Structure 1
Amino acid sequence: MYLDFYGLSEAPFSITPDPRFVYLSERHRDGLAHLLYGVGQGGSGGFVQLTGEVGTGKTTLCRLLLEQLPDKTRVALLLNPLLSPVELLETICEELHIEIEDARGSLKTLTDRLNAFLLKAHAAGERVVVIIDEAQNLSVDSLEQVRLLTNLETATQKLLQIILLGQPELRELLDRPDLRQLAQRITARYHLTPLDADETETYVRHRLHVVGSERLPFTRLALRTLHRRSGGVPRLINVIADRALVAGYARSLDSINERVIDEAADEALHGGSRRRRRLWMSVAAALALIALSLVAWRWPRASDPATEAVAADAPVAPAEAPSEALQRLLASHEESDMRPWQRLAELWSWPADADQLTRLAACGGRIEPGINCLRASGPLGRLGKLGRPVILRLRGESGFASAVLLALDERQARIELGGETLTLPRSLIELHWLGDYRVMWRAPEWVPATLRNGDRGPGVNWLRERLAAAEVQEGLEGPIGQGEVFDTELERRLRRLQIRLGLVADGIAGPETQMALASFDEEGPRLARLELPRG
């Protein structure tokens, strides 16, 4: 309907899976890397867990995983886990083409058949992977049966790798005390978060480019509104954008603005109920005003001294809304303002002079011996796990400004901008933040910028000490030992921690990994947690 009008060869925002439209954000690439690592050399049996909200791209990553699996990999893919333990085992065997007609209904016989198949596959140099989608729907009994399957092993190796894909409820399910044995066998976890504002725009441009678009039919503010209304969830982006194109065509709009996006989102997310609700609220407000006018007209005129006293009181100015305060500060401060960097240095008890602050603001790695600054990007959740104050680059209507993130919890964030401290909803920060941040950290001056397998020296021993401290805090295995040689065991444990922290799991201690390890040091400033209001 709108294809010719906007110069498109086909619908760009269809929700039908099509590999041509796949767009991988940084977090999608990280998620895929975790899955590939889980079934590759790092897997060695056990569980890999990938979670994310509905529509964030878990199934897309699963398809990409299936396309990129190593050679000699056998896969059982379960799309409907609402099964009893026996039915679950039967389905796994059927997916692997194991003959079970005379074994149905018997857990022992089915397990024996599966074990024989796994031993044969192992002898042939094959890997066997079970992928369970919508795993949050598994019953506790079925999860326990899945755990028991990881007991199938040779003297040196697990025979089965299991990947659990599910919604956030899966994480809550696996936190149950009666499932702690299963949770302890999860070797890699990754939570897939929605796209940020810039990624949403790139995602929209990518899909339009695939279908031959030579121009962007959405204004920049429309794209911001699309991100806000969709929450960065790709499936919702598709639904809202498609409805907006239909509406734009119906109104002969060359460029779709934020109002059209809002209307499309109302239709897509609420079936028009929000517009009807606004209409009724407007009618109710009008009726209320009429009623108040009638009461005021009939009320006795200035005969009650108390009434006169109240009327004479000076009006109280309304408190400034968080969004208004943030907009005001963003409009009145520029990115070149050095106060955020001065504040960051103070938090680290570093008496930096003007030249040092300038180099810190450039954030080009090692600022001076022992002082480092890293440019990175990621979701707010990663900053919460990092636990250090960072510089956020926030976008206002007239440009960018830098703010110091001082505190963070599930709902709110506290920042310092232009010398003022604001406590804001996380969603408001995310609306103005493009996902990049700057973080200062300390490390001994003799630690190289990058450490990898085969390196030697005192920097390797520092890495061992920091990794051991991180493993203790993350509940992983204990002492790693001393030594100035970066060996294979150190690489394995570093890679595992990288996965745990949501970093690129390359087994190399580069600046981002070193910074993350340094964050486990109790010295230095920490992000505060905000008290949620009671009631």
Structure 2
Amino acid sequence: MYWESFGFKEAPFALTPNPSFLFLSAPHQEAFAHLLFAIENRAGFIELSGEVGTGKTTIVRTLLNQLDPETHRTALIFNPILSPLGFMKEVNAEFGLPCDGNEIRDLHALLNAYLLEENRAGRTVVLVIDEAQNLSVEVLEHVRLISNLETESDKLIQIVLVGQPELNALLARDELRQLDQRITVRYHLKPMCFDDTCAYIRHRIRFAADGQEPLTFSAGAFKRIFKFSGGLPRLINGVCDRALLLAYTRERKEVTPAMASLAIADLRRGSPRRRRALQVRALSAALILCVIIIAGFSAVSLHLLPEEKKVTVQVPPPLTSDAARQGIAAQAEQENLYQAVNAVLAAWQVQRVEPVPGQPDNLRALARQRGLVATKLAANLELLGRLDAPALLHVELPGGGERLVALMGFEKDEVSVVPAVAGRSKLSRTELAQFWSGGTTVLWKDFHGIGTRTKGAEKTAGTKALQGLLKQVGCYNGPTDGALNDTTRQSLAEFQRREQLVADGKVGAQTLMLLYRRAGGFFPPGLARAGSTESKQTGRI
């Protein structure tokens, strides 16, 4: 296949939903969090809606993979164009129940007995119905009847309706008002923003190439793909796949804006909406012509007006090493510590640090009190970009001592810092390199406590959690048995190679940070991207 020539282990932009490629943009994180919260709190009825191609199916498949099979029983119905009898048979079959009967009442009774048995065993039963906008009113009425199965204190089944925006119109019908009123959690999945679109494309390339980037997209190509796709993953995949083929035929390692335009044109070719688009373009051209004519008259009129003075924007001179260190040293040590640390804690949405007289300020202790881990490492911006985590940069002062600068975001050539350095909250990478030599402390969360579970049953439980994470990222296919054997270590080393870490098969801080970020279902804060109005990560813990 053409993608193999770049060194990809699988097609990076296949249209088939694949949870292994999961990328959690800000909207996807919120959707995932809503679903997980509703299921764990047994909300009963949940609705997830979104336009075609927003990634709804990928999210629900990832969710089902994330739920522990020891405590959950799950079923996914993805062909809901069925009769009420056919629907009940499909539901029972998915849960492994007899489905040969032709009486809905009997099938319903079997399901009820199963739900009661699972409830007594302390397990949560989840039914996900994809493409729910295609359900008939009669089938939806049976869905409501299934939701009636409950005890005095618990809903016996959690039902997730997933569908396109038409699902909302369907549920708004008068004959379905009882069902609509029972939906306690709703979320409408929106497309990705520009920054998330760029990160999504790079993520899929790196995942399919074991952490490498054998193909890159220029900034102009990113812009054209986003403008065409509107941030919809399915359209992004379609364009990028064609761009990949074009790069293969031209023996190029970078997709240029022109190549992106050709890929977009190829994707549009043959589309049933193309004729309509051409009509719209013709109308747009006529409007543009009118605007040009009006602008011409306006230009003539403007010549009769006096010229305005041009305003020049002064660009600040480059920041020198001495000026940066002097600016940092001017702030008192404790004030600097709290301002930098609180910027990172705010990203995690945890309690701020307040000065306590008589108590030393220890980063590890401050982090531990808030459920976080403080890990000190020697880093560079490339590594911090891969970890995608707000970090505390240690800056050594000429006369001894040090100050902290919180790295909160960066783009290709610019970083955002707190507190401001010599009055500037944005610096070029070159300016930062003049006074920062690599000393870094990263605050992160070990969600499963894997790093602290080192003995006996706790170690086994931690290894099980590790194996689950490795499964989630597609690096482990063995049993979740808690055995830290060669197979588990080799899988861990494979993940480390993919993420450009030292492939030693050991469970280190950097490995765990990236495992939690790649596995999905955990929401550590990420580095903000310059010019973005949305936070890339929720940071809820």
Partner of 1:26: 26
- Mean CA deviation greater in 264-273 or 218-227: 264-273
Partner of 2:137: 140
Partner of 2:497: none
- Superposition CA RMSD, Å: 4.5
Q: Answer yes or no: is the 8 Å Cα contact 2:3–2:245 preserved in 1.
A: no
Q: How far apart, CA to CA, are the structure 1 residues paired with 2:47 and 2:54?
A: 15
SS in 1 for 2:73: strand
Partner of 2:57: 59
User: Any residues of structure 2 matched to 1:43-54 within 5 Å, and which?
Assistant: 43-44=42-43, 46-54=44-52
Partner of 1:228: 227
Partner of 1:255: 254
Q: Answer yes or no: is the 8 Å Cα contact 2:42–2:154 preserved in 1.
A: no
User: Any residues of structure 2 matched to 1:479-518 within 5 Å, and which?
Assistant: none
Q: CA deviation at 1:276?
A: 13
2:87 aligned with 1:88, yes or no? yes
Q: Answer yes or no: is the 8 Å Cα contact 2:4–2:10 preserved in 1.
A: no
User: Alpha carbons of 1:276 and 1:161: their partners in 2 closer, same or farther (altered >3 Å)?
Assistant: closer
2:289 aligned with 1:316, yes or no? no
SS in 1 for 2:255: coil
SS in 2 for 1:158: coil
Query: Unpaired segments of 5 or more residues in structure 2?
Result: 286-293, 301-310, 317-342, 347-412, 415-521, 525-533, 535-541
User: Alpha carbons of 1:333 and 1:185: their partners in 2 closer, same or farther (altered >3 Å)?
Assistant: farther
Which residue identity does 1:28 align to in structure 2? H
Q: How far apart, CA to CA, are the structure 2 residues paired with 1:365 and 1:117?
A: 46
Q: How far apart, CA to CA, are the structure 2 residues paired with 1:270 and 1:333?
A: 45
Q: How far apart, CA to CA, are the structure 2 residues paired with 1:92 and 1:335?
A: 65
Specify which of 140, 146, 149 is matched with residue 149 of structure 1: 146
Q: Answer yes or no: is the 8 Å Cα contact 2:42–2:155 preserved in 1.
A: no
SS in 2 for 1:317: helix
SS in 1 for 2:186: strand
Q: CA deviation at 1:230?
A: 1.4
SS in 2 for 1:316: helix
User: Any residues of structure 2 matched to 1:108-147 within 5 Å, and which?
Assistant: 108-147=105-144
User: Alpha carbons of 1:333 and 1:135: their partners in 2 closer, same or farther (altered >3 Å)?
Assistant: farther
User: Alpha carbons of 1:159 and 1:214: their partners in 2 closer, same or farther (altered >3 Å)?
Assistant: closer
Which residue identity does 1:81 align to in structure 2? P
- Number of paired residues? 314
Partner of 1:69: 67
User: Alpha carbons of 1:123 and 1:201: their partners in 2 closer, same or farther (altered >3 Å)?
Assistant: same
Which residue identity does 2:193 align to in structure 1? D
- Cα-to-partner distance string for 1:316-340 (whole Å, 9 max, x where unaligned): 3389xxxxxxxxxxx998999xxxx
Which residue identity does 1:255 align to in structure 2? E
Q: How far apart, CA to CA, are the structure 2 residues paired with 1:16 and 1:99?
A: 31
Which residue identity does 1:23 align to in structure 2? F
Q: Answer yes or no: is the 8 Å Cα contact 1:7–1:214 preserved in 2.
A: no
Q: How far apart, CA to CA, are the structure 2 residues paired with 1:6 and 1:334?
A: 45
2:166 aligned with 1:169, yes or no? yes
User: Alpha carbons of 1:316 and 1:31: their partners in 2 closer, same or farther (altered >3 Å)?
Assistant: same
Partner of 1:522: none
TM-score by length of 1: 0.51
Q: CA deviation at 1:100?
A: 4.2
Q: How far apart, CA to CA, are the structure 1 residues paired with 2:39 and 2:213?
A: 40
Q: CA deviation at 1:217?
A: 2.4
Which residue identity does 1:317 align to in structure 2? S
Q: Answer yes or no: is the 8 Å Cα contact 2:131–2:162 preserved in 1.
A: yes
User: Alpha carbons of 1:243 and 1:17: their partners in 2 closer, same or farther (altered >3 Å)?
Assistant: same
Partner of 1:302: none
- Cα-to-partner distance string for 1:248-303 (whole Å, 9 max, x where unaligned): 33234443222221221121133389699979x99xx9xxxxxxxxxxxxxxxxxx
Query: Unpaired segments of 5 or more residues in structure 1?
Result: 286-312, 320-330, 337-362, 367-397, 400-503, 507-511, 513-535
2:15 aligned with 1:15, yes or no? yes
SS in 2 for 1:23: coil
- Mean CA deviation greater in 248-257 or 269-278: 269-278
Tell me the percent identity: 43
User: Any residues of structure 2 matched to 1:353-368 within 5 Å, and which?
Assistant: none
Q: CA deviation at 1:49?
A: 0.6
SS in 2 for 1:184: helix
Q: How far apart, CA to CA, are the structure 1 residues paired with 2:145 and 2:58?
A: 28
SS in 2 for 1:227: helix
Q: How far apart, CA to CA, are the structure 2 residues paired with 1:246 and 1:2?
A: 7
User: Alpha carbons of 1:217 and 1:248: their partners in 2 closer, same or farther (altered >3 Å)?
Assistant: same
User: Alpha carbons of 1:161 and 1:364: their partners in 2 closer, same or farther (altered >3 Å)?
Assistant: closer
Specify which of 193, 196, 201 is matched with residue 198 of structure 2: 201
Which residue identity does 1:113 align to in structure 2? L
SS in 2 for 1:130: strand
SS in 2 for 1:28: helix
SS in 2 for 1:125: coil
Q: How far apart, CA to CA, are the structure 2 residues paired with 1:334 and 1:93?
A: 70
Q: How far apart, CA to CA, are the structure 1 residues paired with 2:74 and 2:89?
A: 15
Which residue identity does 2:255 align to in structure 1? I
Q: Answer yes or no: is the 8 Å Cα contact 1:229–1:262 preserved in 2.
A: no
Q: Answer yes or no: is the 8 Å Cα contact 1:51–1:190 preserved in 2.
A: yes
Q: Answer yes or no: is the 8 Å Cα contact 2:147–2:155 preserved in 1.
A: yes
TM-score by length of 2: 0.50
Q: CA deviation at 1:206?
A: 1.0
Q: How far apart, CA to CA, are the structure 2 residues paired with 1:85 and 1:108?
A: 11
Q: How far apart, CA to CA, are the structure 2 residues paired with 1:365 and 1:157?
A: 37
SS in 2 for 1:162: strand
Q: CA deviation at 1:365?
A: 12
Q: Answer yes or no: is the 8 Å Cα contact 1:12–1:208 preserved in 2.
A: yes
- Cα-to-partner distance string for 1:124-151 (whole Å, 9 max, x where unaligned): 2222221111100001111111112211
Q: Answer yes or no: is the 8 Å Cα contact 1:6–1:217 preserved in 2.
A: no
User: Alpha carbons of 1:505 and 1:113: their partners in 2 closer, same or farther (altered >3 Å)?
Assistant: farther
